[in-house]
Amino acid sequence: VSSISFDGQVAVITGAGRGIGRAHALELGRRGAAVVVNDLAREHADEVVSAIEASGGTAVASYDTVATPEGGKAIIGAATDRFGTIDILVNNAGILRPAYFEDLTLQQLDQVFDTHLRAAFFVTQPAWPVMKEKGYGRVIMTSSNSGLFSHGGNSNYAAAKAGIYGLTKALAYEGAAHGITCNAVLPMAETTISKENPIPGLEEDRGRLLDASDLELMSVRREPRLVAQLVVYLASRECEVSGLAFSAAGGRYARVFVGIAEGWLAEDTGEATVEAIGEHFDEICDIAEHTTPMWLFDEYADVVRRLRATV
């Protein structure tokens, strides 16, 4: 395998002062990208810049928040002012404000939506015209297994991360004509994010649903570096896919997709009644035969294929 280089490219990583974002920044810096290391925590951002420079790379810190439009502009401005452009954006910064649904406050909802879902708009929007003009860009969003597969005690986060999946698809569609790809990662890694804000019920559910030896096996494969390898591949010139989501968990890398079952087709629209839905419900739910539409119009094509088969 030839080695993948980022010489001459500029990358912005949000929330890169520690955890998974730090691993992305170090890997991109090591492979020749000029890196904007964004993090609210100044000392953490500075440490990562120093580490990249110490290994011969180029980096600059940005301490702006991802959670406002002004912050987003300033983060992308750090790349364009200092390095003249932006090729790669990894939206990674994040927080947890977990609570059981009935206890969730408006403040917890706002903080999580601002830092994850709205931030993905705030930071990507100022990068978009730069990428569009040069006809090249790699945008990587950080979604979550907690968003697309979910568990309890974290509904604000689950909804924000699932929203990011929708944004990933929409930007992939709009970016296609301009050489801009947009993909999402669902990471799993040992970091401090959930230690600072423990999710109610998570440990208990994990202990109840998985046995101790399974948990032990997973616990030794949780380095952020494992997630960064996939993200850095998605950020490369070599990778041209777009609109896809990938899980990186325990060293297992796999595409995550939304599919649609073959379902039940009412041959005559008059046949489609509440009772008929009930009668055909097993068929409606059966996913043994399914497709994975890439875009909205692929679902149209699916329905049309079924309709044609009936005439």
Ligand X SMILES: NC(=O)c1ccc[n+]([C@@H]2O[C@H](COP(=O)([O-])OP(=O)(O)OC[C@H]3O[C@@H](n4cnc5c(N)ncnc54)[C@H](O)[C@@H]3O)[C@@H](O)[C@H]2O)c1
Give catalytic residues, as residue numbers: 157
SS3 99: strand
**What count of other Cβ atoms lies within 10 Å of the Cβ of residue 215?**
11
- List 34, 59, 89, 93, residue binding ligand X (CB under 6 A): 93
Cβ of residue 28: shortest distance to ligand X, in angstroms?
15
CB-wise, 142 or 242, nearer to ligand X?
142
Alpha-carbon distance of 111 to 304, in angstroms, equals: 43
- List Cα–Cα distances, 185 to 144, 148, 162, 259, in angstroms: 7, 11, 12, 18
Q: Is 118 in the site for ligand X (CB under 6 A)?
A: no
Could you give the CA distance from residue 166 to residue 20 in angstroms, rounded to a whole number?
Answer: 22
**Total binding residues toward ligand X, as defined by CB under 6 A:** 30
Residue 188 sits in the site that holds ligand X (CB under 6 A): yes
Position 175 contacts ligand X (CB under 6 A): no
- Which CB atom, from 27 or from 39, has the smaller least distance to ligand X? 39
Q: Rounded to whole angstroms, how far apart are CA atoms 226 and 208? A: 27
Closest CB to ligand X among residues 179, 250 = 250
Q: Which residue is nearest to ligand X, using beta carbons?
A: 19
Interactions with ligand X, residue window 1-40 (CB under 6 A): 14-15, 17-21, 38-40
Instruction: Name the minimum Å distance from CB 145 to ligand X.
Output: 6
In the bound complex, what is the minimum distance in angstroms from residue 134's beta carbon to ligand X? 25
Least distance to ligand X from the beta carbon of 149, Å?
10
115 binds ligand X (CB under 6 A): yes
Q: Specify the stretch interacting with ligand X by CB under 6 A; choose among 53-61, 182-190, 212-220, 271-279.
A: 182-190
Structure tokens at 280: 């055909």
CA atoms within 13 A on the CB side of 289: 7
Query: Which member of 29, 57, 72, 94 binds ligand X (CB under 6 A)?
Result: 94
Q: Contact between 74 and ligand X (CB under 6 A)? A: no
Task: Give 44 or 138: the residue with its C-beta nearer to ligand X.
Answer: 44
* Residue located via tokens 């904007």: 36
**With the CA atoms of 299, 303, 305 and 308 taken in that order, what torsion angle do they form, in degrees rounded to the nearest 10?**
-160
Q: Which residues contact 189 (CB under 8 A, 6 or more apart)?
A: 19, 20, 23, 222, 223, 224, 226, 227
> Nearest distance from residue 227's CB to ligand X, in Å?
8
Select 133 or 214, whichever has its Cβ closest to ligand X: 214
Amino acid residing at 204 = E
We find the least distance from the C-beta atom of residue 69 to ligand X, in angstroms, to be: 13
Residue whose C-alpha is closest to residue 80's, from 17, 118, 131: 131
Enumerate the β-bridge partners of residue 61: 37
State which of positions 49-68 bind ligand X (CB under 6 A): 65-67
Mind giving me the DSSP string for 235-269? Answer: TSTT----S-EEEEETTEEEEE---EE-----SSG
List the interface residues with ligand X, window 200-239 (CB under 6 A): none
Q: Which residues are at the interface with ligand X (CB under 6 A)? A: 14-15, 17-21, 38-41, 44, 65-67, 92-95, 115, 142, 144-146, 187-189, 191-193
